[in-house]
């Protein structure tokens, strides 16, 4: 009597064992082991990450613009403070 190589269950006389990658398995295991139907990859799948890439770049650019704006304001404020300090020292 044959046994299923996967679950070890005895394959019944009337039940015909199935071959799965050089292994004799019961029909239950064969269905479980068989990979799900492969669907052809749609071109939409490769389009989506590209949009995300663009969005990521847009975020990076926006962040950089804000960062440079902030740095610019910071340095101009520092210059104003130095100017005021200089003015106060003169008095
Ligand atoms: Zn089995």
Whole-number pLDDT of residue 41: 62
pLDDT for res 7:
96
Residue 55 pLDDT: 92
Note the pLDDT tens digit of each residue in 14-65: 888 889 999 999 999 998 998 776 666 665 566 678 888 899 999 999 999 9
- CB–CB of 20/27 below 8 Å? no
- Residues 72-82 as b/e (b if ≥16 CB within 10 A, e otherwise) read eeeeeeeeeee
Q: Is the pTM of this model over 0.85?
A: no
In the reported structure, the alpha carbon of residue 25 is separated from the centroid of ligand 1 by a whole-number distance in angstroms of 5
- Cα 2 to averaged position of ligand 1 atoms, centre (Å): 11
Domain locations along the chain: 1-35, 44-91
Instruction: Please tell me the distance between residue 18's alpha carbon and the centre of ligand 1 in angstroms.
Output: 10
């Amino acid at each position: 009597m044959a046994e299923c190589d996967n679950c070890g269950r005895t394959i019944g006389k009337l039940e015909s064992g199935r071959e799965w990658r050089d292994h004799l398995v019961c029909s239950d295991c064969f269905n479980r082991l068989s990979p799900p139907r492969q669907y052809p990859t749609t071109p939409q799948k490769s389009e989506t990450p590209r949009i995300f890439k663009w969005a990521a770049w847009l975020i990076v650019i926006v962040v950089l613009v804000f960062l440079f704006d902030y740095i610019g304001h910071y340095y101009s404020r520092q210059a104003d403070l130095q100017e005021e300090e200089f003015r106060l020292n003169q008095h």
